[in-house]
Structure 1
Amino acid sequence: MKIIKHLISALFFVLGIQFGNSQNISVDEGYSPQTLVEDILINSSCANVFNVSVSGGNFATGEKSFGYFDATGTTFPFQNGIILSTGKINNAPGPNSYLSDDGGSMGWDGDSDLNTALGLSNTFNATILEFDFIPLGNKISFDYIFSSEQYLTSPSSNQCNFTDGFAFLLKRNGATTYENLAVVPGTSTPVKVNTVRGPGTICPPANANYFDAFNDANHPTNYNGQTKVLTAQADVIPGETYHIKLVIADEGNYRFDSAIFLGGGSFNFTIDIGDDRLISSGNPLCQNETLLVDATQVGATAYQWFQDSIAIPGATNATYTITSVGDYVVEINYGPSCQTTGTIKIEYADVLTIDENTFSLCDSDTNQDGKTAFNLDNIKNSLFTNLPTNYVISFFETQTSTTILPVNYTNTTAYNQTIYARVMNIQGCYTDYPVFLKVNTFDAIVTDKELSLCENDILILDAGSGFNSYTWDTNPPQFTQQILIASAGTYKVILTNVNNCSKTKTFTVEASSTALIEDIICNDFQENNTATIQISSASLGDYEFSLDGSNYQDSNIFTNLAPGEYTVYVQDKKGCDIAFETFYILDYPKYFTPNGDGYNDTWFIKNLDKSNLENSPINIFDRYGKFIKQIFGESEGWNGTFNGNQSPSNDYWFEIKLTNGQSIKGHFSLKR
């Protein structure tokens, strides 16, 4: 950083004619301490200043660490004033081209009062300006800028806490302790490099809104950075004697000089005539309210009040009654050439404009009792069009109540209730405003529905009549009481009544189809003949089964079936078409009577062809296993003879050879 500054110094020397000295401040060491205070810092005929002293570095060259500066024609915020430095003030003028680093090895001590004020023990190179004064007003103030070489743009991490210190120490005559006026506004934190610093370096920013800038080479002073213009101020007692000590010093060692610039003519004695009454601070005057302001000062010879910089005719007393908005100033004269002032800014609370004071909600629970939860924060934000941001609104059930209602408030009076919004600020300018809560209901009973949709069908969904609007969640949305659908799914419709309250009705539509009979498995030739109806997995539905088309069962198995022809009916419970199919139960005769009467004269098995068994051979045996006869399904059967002779009455056995290699065996009786 400093190598660059030396190079830039050479560059500015070469280009000095182009830039000119007017770009940088100049300093003058020839002013006496009394002149610096009376004519430069205070510059007022009202000044009552004495015991002025200045101390600083005893440089062998005779140069000083304090003096006058002139910034006329530069960008520096002050035109002139006093400079107090921890080095030679001749190094203070810009450009910012080299390191001001004076005061080493010369026995230049620090200051014990500064150490006490800042909690330090290791200050060096202290420059001190101190004097006594007697204030005319009850408040003093002056403006200053703190500049330092320690505002580094590229510091190392161990440099972040290095900081020179300064203090503006004030005490009343007879007091034993000082008050430090050089603090971050609104705090008790002393202003230093590490308490007022901007962002952009590895060092953390602190109170950055009071930091001005890190300086490049083209700056009116030879310091790396500075604060913005800050104001030191204190309350004082008019006529009392005070001592003020302005001191700056290096901390830790003599390195990296710093300076305090005190604005010329900025040391003012003013009168505190009261706090500003502002909307932003919550203490404006109420509508039609007046304010009596008293500026009475001992020794004053004349008063003149001003409103917005215009003298108020006839307002020449020590007191004045304010009746309207404005910036008020009172000039207090103590003779022909001594004058102090007091200021106060007045605003009036606005007449609040109600934007909305009736709030309606729908009853959100199932009992529809006219009570529901209101978010009072939402109501607060909608109530007025011109409520100042720092005013507080609280809600109460009655105008006399002191119990603030919770943010989520459920009305206690069904359907309609009035609560009160209380607008609170310091002055209490506003009365309670009624807020009307209205709860609407949705009394119609809404039930969800489950429906089925048959294959290739179109279904009408009907949300019911009597509602103001319908909003279906279809894509795109539909807004009619009925809609047509061609696919299964979940369909929702928002029903809105005349009170603008809504409920949602859900239709759950399941796909269904006519049953596809895949197979009928018959277990026949048994004591308990059964049939099992198998439905294809591609069938969508909940089915029931019947053998007569009237009486249905959930089971797909029929039992105890007599031999014969059957038709099975499969019905979808959700109303799709009925599927049907014929099947046969086979069985063999348990006996036959070959007596020539034309009835039951032969033994054969019916309907074998219905099960594709007509070509299966049936072998008949006597009880001893002797082969008697072979017949087929399409033959006339066995007539009870063997080799032309009648076989005796007895039990006979048969076996049907199936095409799959299995066989069915049984026995029957021949009766004569």
Structure 2
Amino acid sequence: MKRIIFIFFGVLFNVGVSQNITVNQTFTAQQLIENILVNSGCVSVSNFSATGGNFSAGEMSFGYFNANGSVFPFQEGIVLSTGKLSSVIGPNTNFSDSGIGMSWNGDTDLNTALSLSNTFNATVLEFDFIPNANTISFDYIFASEQYLLNPASNQCNYTDGFAFLLKEATASTYQNLALIPNTTIPVRVNTVRGSGTICPAANEAYFDAFNSGNYPTTYDGQTKILTAQAAVIPGTLYHIKLVIADEGNGRFDSGIFLKAGSFVSEKDLGPNRLLSSGNSLCPNETLILNATQAGATNYKWFKNGNQVGTNSATYDVTSAGTYSVEININTTCVITGSIEIEYAPNITTSTTSFTACDTNSDGFADFDLNAIKTQIFNNLPNNYSVALFDSPSGTTALLANFTNTTLNQQIIYARIVSLENCYSNIPITLNVLSSGGILTTELINICNNSTTTISAPSGFSTYSWNTLPVQNSQTISISNEGNYIVTLTSANGCTNTKTFTVINSELATITSIEVNDFEENLTALITIIGNGNYTYSIDNVNFQNTPFFNLPEPGEYRIYVKEEQCGTISDTFFAISYPKFFTPNGDTFNDIWQIKNLDKKGLENSKIYIFDRFGKLIKEINKTNTSWDGTFDNQKLPSTDYWFVIEVSNGKIIKGHFSLKR
């Protein structure tokens, strides 16, 4: 914990210890401005004033400081404090709270700039100046005891205020230059703070450190070196007011350190053109730097510290580097300006043609555009990206998973995305390669684990089977059932697969032959049992996959059931029907009407009754009397239709009619 140490000084003093800064309060406001802060013939200064604490011993709250060989970043300069000047001196073991109880006035301009109403203990240094160039700037560090190492949660928003207020001398409003770079946020304890305490970090890139006891100043923390700058009009009278004050009460001193000699009037050559900020020059682009300055007697241009031009207010930049200019105004004023120039690189392509495999021979394939984007360019900077579009003027980037919309080949366009917008569209060719088409699963039968060969399609460069060990030939021998999968690679690198499903097979066993006898259309349905790939035939020549047959006529048939690997079995069957007509004319051909083959099917005990068209029983056919010759009582009956009823021995009744023709 810090010890509170009270030290009394005389009115004029020069104090300090080794490795800590020293301070001196004997400088007047004019000396602090002319000899310390400005120290340049390029800025004309006047109308100096300084106000601060009214301590009983005559001590000041502002003055000169010197780093005294310590690690403090500035070698010398001016310090403005909300407490005694002597309380600024390190090490950081004292609690700098010397403004407590004093409660001298705050500052209304500071209140306005920071939207405050409760400032106390204001220290102010102000002066007029006339710049010779179009910008002014100076370097500063803000330090404070309010950068507490172990704050309570209610102390996170305590912050003293300061501002660097600039205006034209005749203007009524000020511009605050003490802002976080590239923002409108004032620099304060709670807007620039590092992590490591319970208080939230803020703009941490601009915070230097929380200090240990050995730090050269008494403050608990400070910012990094910051630069206040503004655009001004050369030859115009300006007024600047540097002010710092306690906010709310007089506790916890803060200080502003201004670097000696850093208040300069510089020539603004424009913003740095950097890759990191996205405004670098495009390849082969030329930038004209213009340093035209009223009253200039000479110009000198430098690139990376080496003189490259003279006696010209402009310089044409054609390559990267840090460019600076020295502008002689008079014997005591040399205005400088600088700018850093970077060029977007000449980006070269690695490949602009890409392939994907067509797995189903439809001319379309899936392309991974994310992978393609990483392969197009050789030297793409880290902060650049690539987008792909379907046309040169496209505005909606293609998604990562892309299927070509033009058959077999499509041109898309690569566009480098950067703030500079330096690059043209690059045509990218997407080629669809054949994988060999759709290869259907093939069913293979082997008879009782016999050995057979299976062959993959030809036309591929390599073959790889899922066997153990892996086989790499087009044809393999197998003797076990299972799924055999071959991976085929084409000469273009595309792969495909084909599956052979191998099944153990055997000769079929015919279990039944069902014939629909006596029907108009005779059919037979064969039922078998067995494991195999079977085909069927009733002539042993023409085989079919189905066991159902349409029979052309009644009679005896032989059914053949074939299994390719195991062989063929056969059996006979009979189809029974009645004749549709008969011609009893004595020519020995079709002279009788009878139903054949009843005995072949065990139906020989069936009875058949024949009637004329009036229902008169003409003939009874049975096992012993098997046919009718067309007579009744030895008389020939006329040609006409006759009806019959068959009482089949299995109990079935069949009725029909036929014609007698003479």
TM-score (norm 2): 0.69
What's the secondary structure of 1:142's corresponding residue? strand
1:126 and 2:102 correspond: no
Distance 1:208 1:459 in 2: 77
Partner of 1:319: 314
5 Å matches for 1:251-270?
Answer: 251-270=247-266
1:148 and 2:144 correspond: yes
Partner of 1:206: 202
Q: 1:542 Cα shift?
A: 10
Q: 1:338 Cα shift?
A: 0.7
Partner of 1:415: 408
5 Å matches for 1:519-534?
Answer: none
Partner of 2:336: 341
Partner of 2:525: none
Give the partner amino acid of 1:369. Answer: D
Contact kept in structure 1, 2:102 and 2:121, CA below 8 Å: no
Contact kept in structure 1, 2:139 and 2:227, CA below 8 Å: yes
Contact kept in structure 2, 1:214 and 1:224, CA below 8 Å: yes
Q: 1:488 Cα shift?
A: 7.7
1:171 to 164, 167, 175: 167
Give the count of matched residue pairs. 513
Distance 1:321 1:542, change over 3 A: closer
Q: 1:457 Cα shift?
A: 8.5
Contact kept in structure 1, 2:83 and 2:99, CA below 8 Å: yes
Give the partner amino acid of 2:175. Answer: E
Distance 1:465 1:239, change over 3 A: same
% of aligned pairs identical? 54
1:406 and 2:406 correspond: no
Distance 2:445 2:185 in 1: 78
Give the partner amino acid of 2:398. Answer: P
1:351 and 2:346 correspond: yes
What's the secondary structure of 2:46's corresponding residue? strand
Distance 1:447 1:38, change over 3 A: same
Q: 1:216 Cα shift?
A: 0.8
Partner of 1:13: none
Distance 1:127 1:460 in 2: 102
Q: 1:295 Cα shift?
A: 0.9
Contact kept in structure 2, 1:394 and 1:404, CA below 8 Å: no
1:441 and 2:437 correspond: no
Distance 1:416 1:155, change over 3 A: same
Q: 1:256 Cα shift?
A: 1.2
Distance 2:417 2:483 in 1: 52
1:94 to 90, 93, 107: 90
| Residues 203-212 or 416-425, more deviating | 416-425
What's the secondary structure of 1:204's corresponding residue? coil
Q: 1:267 Cα shift?
A: 1.0
Contact kept in structure 2, 1:282 and 1:391, CA below 8 Å: no
Contact kept in structure 1, 2:436 and 2:496, CA below 8 Å: no
Contact kept in structure 1, 2:92 and 2:216, CA below 8 Å: yes
Distance 1:108 1:79 in 2: 30
Q: 1:165 Cα shift?
A: 1.6
Give the partner amino acid of 2:92. Answer: N
1:52 and 2:55 correspond: no
What's the secondary structure of 1:340's corresponding residue? strand
2:267 to 271, 280, 286: 271
Contact kept in structure 1, 2:389 and 2:398, CA below 8 Å: no
Q: 1:42 Cα shift?
A: 1.1
Distance 1:177 1:471, change over 3 A: farther
Distance 1:473 1:110 in 2: 88
Partner of 2:31: 35
Partner of 2:237: 241
TM-score (norm 1): 0.68
- The Cα offsets for residues 388-432 of structure 1, whole Å up to 9 and x where unpaired, read as 334454445555x35454234443432233333344656554333
Q: 1:146 Cα shift?
A: 0.9
Distance 1:259 1:426 in 2: 40
- The Cα offsets for residues 273-293 of structure 1, whole Å up to 9 and x where unpaired, read as 223333333433344443322
2:211 to 212, 215, 219: 215
Contact kept in structure 1, 2:43 and 2:264, CA below 8 Å: no
Distance 1:474 1:276, change over 3 A: farther
Give the partner amino acid of 1:326. Answer: G
1:469 to 452, 455, 462: 462
What's the secondary structure of 1:327's corresponding residue? strand
RMSD of Structure 2 on Structure 1 (CA): 3.6
What's the secondary structure of 2:43's corresponding residue? coil
What's the secondary structure of 1:494's corresponding residue? strand
> Any stretches of 5+ residues in structure 1 without a counterpart?
11-19, 515-539, 545-572, 578-672
1:381 to 363, 368, 374: 374
What's the secondary structure of 2:18's corresponding residue? helix
Distance 1:184 1:458 in 2: 85
Q: 1:477 Cα shift?
A: 6.2
Distance 1:105 1:486 in 2: 105
Distance 1:111 1:487 in 2: 100
What's the secondary structure of 1:247's corresponding residue? strand
Distance 1:458 1:117, change over 3 A: farther
